[in-house]
Amino acid sequence: MANIKTIEEEIEKILIKDKRSWVRLFELIREVEIGTLWKPEHKSFTRWIRHLAYESGVTESLIWKRKKAGEIYSDYQKRAKKKGITVPRIEDVEVSPDNFELVEKISQGNKEIKDDLMEKVLQRDLKRSDLLNAWSSVKTIRQGAAGSIVKKNRHTEISQSKKEKEIALSVSDVAISLTYSSWLDAFSDLNIDTLMTHSQKKVYKLLPKFSFYSSITDRSHTIDFLLLENHTSKPHQLNLHSIEVVLSEEELQQAFNSRQYQQHMNYLWIAIPSIVIKEIGPLISEDYGIIEIGVGRVTSIWRKSPYTSVSNKVDIYQETLVKVL
């Protein structure tokens, strides 16, 4: 075991001159923590971190973040090993630690989503911009502000059965599950890699509680989720998806109001929890695709949405620009 002074000198060198060596920084910090090498000079591990930050001229939060990133990846390695999956050693990882922190935030503690995101980050299928967009959507939904989605049924909180509570929980599950693009991989009839070869940028933007004015219907419409993406189209073509969340049969009629703005959309979807999909799924018009939100917030396509070629996208593009600029 190394001497604490030697470890501190190496850590300070990394923090001052080589901030990109975050993996080595994590390993050194973990060695001090596990071996309680911070004793007896410091009263606690936290005090030692504070000392490091002061001596190196960096913020304490930077050190804690690097430590957290290492722990996130170590936990991922353990889960992968249990599943018999081989993943890169932490010392071989060339990914920004900030990306691991975003994965943690987006997944909201869900290990299935976290592992799926980690795999895509390591394979470079998800860039930092993709993760930032996903986290922005999750924050909007979680904050319970004007952009959030709230679904309630006729039952009170007190009288809810176990099944009803599971359905209620699925609202946030839907939101989190849709914040990244893996569910679109089910469009197996499209060669996505080939289609994206000439595209300048992959776009996947999920906007919750999206309202816009339609010049065609001369009225305002609100969608649970609007998705803009070019993963399933010809280069430079931006597809529009409306996604309505349905938790009960009673909500179907309200969701079908999307017919009023379907001439703006390339795809119409209904998102349903697995627990009620057999009950509600057969009642949904063939005009709609069905997204199933399964156990662990895993999103899959239960029935594909038919593609519609539309030219009336200006109203939505304009409103989207207003919201994101």
**CA 20 to the chain's CA centroid:** 25
Based on the domain organization, do 166 and 96 belong to the same domain? no
Based on the domain organization, do 34 and 165 belong to the same domain? no
pTM value is 0.64
Q: Is residue 177, in this structure, part of any structural domain at all?
A: yes
> pLDDT (tens digit, 9 = 90+) per residue, 158-178?
345 555 555 554 555 667 778
Based on the domain organization, do 70 and 198 belong to the same domain? no
Please say which residue of 121, 148, 182 terminates a domain. 121
Q: Is residue 132, in this structure, part of any structural domain at all?
A: no
Based on the domain organization, do 12 and 76 belong to the same domain? yes
Tell me what percent of the chain is helix, strand and coil, each rounded to the nearest 5.
Answer: 50, 15, 35
Based on the domain organization, do 112 and 11 belong to the same domain? yes
Q: CA 239, CA 296: separation in Å to the nearest integer?
A: 28
pLDDT by residue, tens only, the chain of 325 residues: 568 889 999 998 898 877 678 999 999 999 999 999 999 899 999 999 999 999 999 999 999 999 999 999 999 999 999 999 999 988 888 888 999 999 888 887 778 778 888 888 898 877 787 788 778 777 766 655 444 444 544 333 434 555 555 555 455 566 777 877 778 877 755 544 544 454 467 788 888 778 888 887 788 888 888 898 888 876 668 899 999 888 777 777 766 655 677 888 999 999 888 888 888 888 888 989 999 887 656 678 899 999 888 877 888 888 888 776 6
Q: CA 251, CA 301: separation in Å to the nearest integer?
A: 20
Based on the domain organization, do 172 and 318 belong to the same domain? yes
Residue 50 makes CB contacts below 8 A (sequence gap 6+) with 60
Q: Is residue 116, in this structure, part of any structural domain at all?
A: yes
Q: CA 61, CA 189: separation in Å to the nearest integer?
A: 47
Q: Is residue 130, in this structure, part of any structural domain at all?
A: no
Q: Is residue 141, in this structure, part of any structural domain at all?
A: no
Q: Is 27 exposed, middle or buried (0-12, 13-18, 19+ CB in 10 A)?
A: middle
Q: Which domain holds residue 234?
A: 161-324
Based on the domain organization, do 283 and 194 belong to the same domain? yes
Based on the domain organization, do 105 and 167 belong to the same domain? no
Q: How many domains does the structure of the chain reveal?
A: 2
Residue 317 makes CB contacts below 8 A (sequence gap 6+) with none
Q: Is residue 259, in this structure, part of any structural domain at all?
A: yes
The packing angle between helices 45-56 and 60-82, to 10°, is 120
